Structure 1
């Protein structure tokens, strides 16, 4: 996209976007200041004394000042001059690249979401949310002058992903904001917000007119989008020249990322099937009927945490990882790092059986058992026992440690959960529903467990039986 452009040409191209971008941010904060001032909802942060008079320094003034700052940044960015264009210092970008890695990314997202959950009453405050929103957009603007960052973000088929992430952040905040308000109202014995506006409207004309207006607006938006951004069409497919990296559509990048940690049959068949089965089973295993028709967290904490972890951590973050941080040869790159196709990371991935036999016991890996001889006097239909016996010889011989760990994880751990942490859930759900829920949870948790094991210990498979296409 920017190949063949000099630094001056690249900066001029970026300046044509950043100038209007900062003006939009200035207008956004100006409108927010005007709204707070006219509605009288501006909060006084502190009072300024000038003699005998006191002037309140309100949040409306803060957003107005922030808008002026963006107004100042707009012409500097529009100039296209490298010395004047606002950008992140190179030392900061290098520090981010060095500190960013798969472990930091995955663990960091879990920690961040945990902080947002436990401190949700602080982060749902409109003032705090507005500050975070401005910081996100400012960081995006300061990162655009970096050529490597721009190459990734401004790619036509990646622009919608960035917009989806920003929209997802907003609507997640909005739902949490309403849930916190409802939880406070319910604690005071009041009805939730949704119960205050339960007036029924007709499908025709109210709903149909609204849908028609939205359809016209969306069509106009897509027309301007098609004019502004060229279609991300590449050259015709060729078997002798494949893209590097070769990526699936964005909505399948989570599955493609799973292929790094699981066998293809597991990542492409078993786990997606478990996702579908789990979604179908939710109405049958959910015993908590509270929270239907209104936002709440306190009444549905368990369901809320499981959904947010499964959707945000195990799906959205994997899509972002595969789209923006996975480069040539499926290597991990920092957000400001050049996607070098010659980058090779030597990964000595080993199986658990190799660690157990060769490193811990200092013994060679046991060979695959030979086919047992079946006496001639036995009927021929018993010959199927030969491969079965050989299979179990591998499972409980060479792969004995991995087999025991997997059996403990999926068979012994659910009863332990029922007797300890999830005892109340087991008593209310019963055996069948609880076992179904527990195994679905364990399958979901197996992905982050395998990710950490791969990144920290270079562990490829816990059970590795390629002879029978069984790897886990």
Structure 2
């Protein structure tokens, strides 16, 4: 995309995108300030004293967004200058720090901790002023990072544009749902009905709904036509048996599955886990015994369901898609977002199976192996002896843990759901938890498989 361009030519190309980008952000903040002022939602945050006058100047949300709009206009002016020294860019020290913190451990740990913090302090983060500030910082981060050639190569690739849109749209709609849920929880604590029950006016399908859908359809069609014209189709040259793309990535909606292949065998990551996800989604109406929280946004009344869904969808699916898009490069190695994708980068792999660790490292013995020419029962017996520890751990995980869960933290769920429904839910949860557990084991102790039976292509 930028191969063959000099630094000056690259900056010119980026500048043609950045100055309209910053102008749009300035208009966005200007419209927000105008909306707050016209609707009477202006709030004073603090006051700045004027030296020598004994007076103070109130700083409101309207003033803050006007200042933000002016700041983005200045950034647009600098970006349109096409001068490297004037171009607003992410500081190199920040780029290095982000690259260093972009490993699989820090990425997964950071996103998990971030989701936990957002959930615990959701009342603070859904405040419109705080959410709008975070939104501006996200867009500013994107703009400042686009001047890096390696970051631009990833983000501006037509294949990856939907990922950027996915992150921004999910951020907005997650905030919107959480914001309304917090309001509804407060209203119900006061004995008031949720917001959705206040809007009970009857609306006719024809013409109200049909006209709205028609307008949306036309607008979306126009947007797709513009997208098709503005961005070249991500078509590659004809396939060749002597030239394999590196990295060879699945479509963005399958990148989560491709990331799972790093930690699980293909039969597990490509068949069992996807089928389990579908079965789990189908089973939700039959497992759900909570009659509250239907038809309106709430967290307090469905806290367990909310946490499980958000963790499963955002942390175990969306973050894997972003990881596979931005941080996985040639040979499926990890690269920072500002790091050049070097196809010759080599990372030592020292992953070991649990059976190898137990027999060789712990006991100092060779792995039990069936004599040559042994029949099938004998081979299975030696395999069972070799993999007994992994088999015991996996069976204990799926057989022993559900009863323990039923007697302890999930006692109330077991009483309401009964044996069959609870066991199904417990095993679905344990299967979902097996992915982060396996990822942690790979990173911490370099464990490859708990059960390794290559004789029958069965590994877990």
TM-score range, shorter chain: over 0.9
Deviation at 1:207, TM superposition (A): 1.4
Residue of structure 2 aligned with 1:112, choices 111, 114, 117 = 114
Q: In 1, are the aligned partners of 2:29 and 2:66 still within 8 Å (CA)?
A: yes
Query: How far, CA to CA, are the matches of 1:331 and 1:393 in structure 2?
Result: 36
Q: In 2, are the aligned partners of 1:464 and 1:470 still within 8 Å (CA)?
A: yes
CA pair 313-58 structure 1, distance change in 2 beyond 3 A: same
Deviation at 1:390, TM superposition (A): 3.0
1:430-466 deviation per Cα after TM superposition (whole angstroms, max 9, x unaligned): 1111110000000000011111111222111000011
The aligned residue for residue 5 of structure 2 is 5
CA pair 8-54 structure 1, distance change in 2 beyond 3 A: closer
CA pair 362-218 structure 1, distance change in 2 beyond 3 A: same
Query: How far, CA to CA, are the matches of 2:134 and 2:353 in structure 1?
Result: 43
**What does 1:217-296 correspond to in 2, within 5 Å?**
217-296=219-298
Residue of structure 2 aligned with 1:305, choices 304, 307, 325 = 307
**What does 1:117-156 correspond to in 2, within 5 Å?**
117-156=119-158
Q: In 2, are the aligned partners of 1:152 and 1:324 still within 8 Å (CA)?
A: yes
SS of match in other structure, 2:8: helix
The aligned residue for residue 26 of structure 1 is 26
The aligned residue for residue 216 of structure 2 is 214
Runs of 4+ in 1 over 2 A off after TM superposition: 47-56, 368-372, 386-390
1:132-166 deviation per Cα after TM superposition (whole angstroms, max 9, x unaligned): 00110011111000000000000011011101110
Q: In 1, are the aligned partners of 2:101 and 2:107 still within 8 Å (CA)?
A: no
Which structure 1 residue ranges, 5 or more long, are not aligned?
373-385
Query: How far, CA to CA, are the matches of 1:186 and 1:137 in structure 2?
Result: 35
Matched, 1:452 2:454: no
Q: In 1, are the aligned partners of 2:99 and 2:339 still within 8 Å (CA)?
A: yes
The aligned residue for residue 192 of structure 1 is 194
The aligned residue for residue 35 of structure 2 is 35
1:270-300 deviation per Cα after TM superposition (whole angstroms, max 9, x unaligned): 1111111111111111111111100000000
CA pair 125-339 structure 1, distance change in 2 beyond 3 A: same
Query: How far, CA to CA, are the matches of 1:320 and 1:47 in structure 2?
Result: 41
Q: In 2, are the aligned partners of 1:350 and 1:461 still within 8 Å (CA)?
A: yes
Q: In 1, are the aligned partners of 2:78 and 2:88 still within 8 Å (CA)?
A: yes
TM-score by structure 2 length? 0.97
Which structure 2 residue ranges, 5 or more long, are not aligned?
none
Query: How far, CA to CA, are the matches of 2:208 and 2:327 in structure 1?
Result: 44
Deviation at 1:368, TM superposition (A): 3.1
The aligned residue for residue 47 of structure 1 is 47
TM-score by structure 1 length? 0.95
SS of match in other structure, 1:337: coil
The aligned residue for residue 417 of structure 1 is 405
Query: How far, CA to CA, are the matches of 1:392 and 1:421 in structure 2?
Result: 38
Q: In 2, are the aligned partners of 1:182 and 1:193 still within 8 Å (CA)?
A: yes
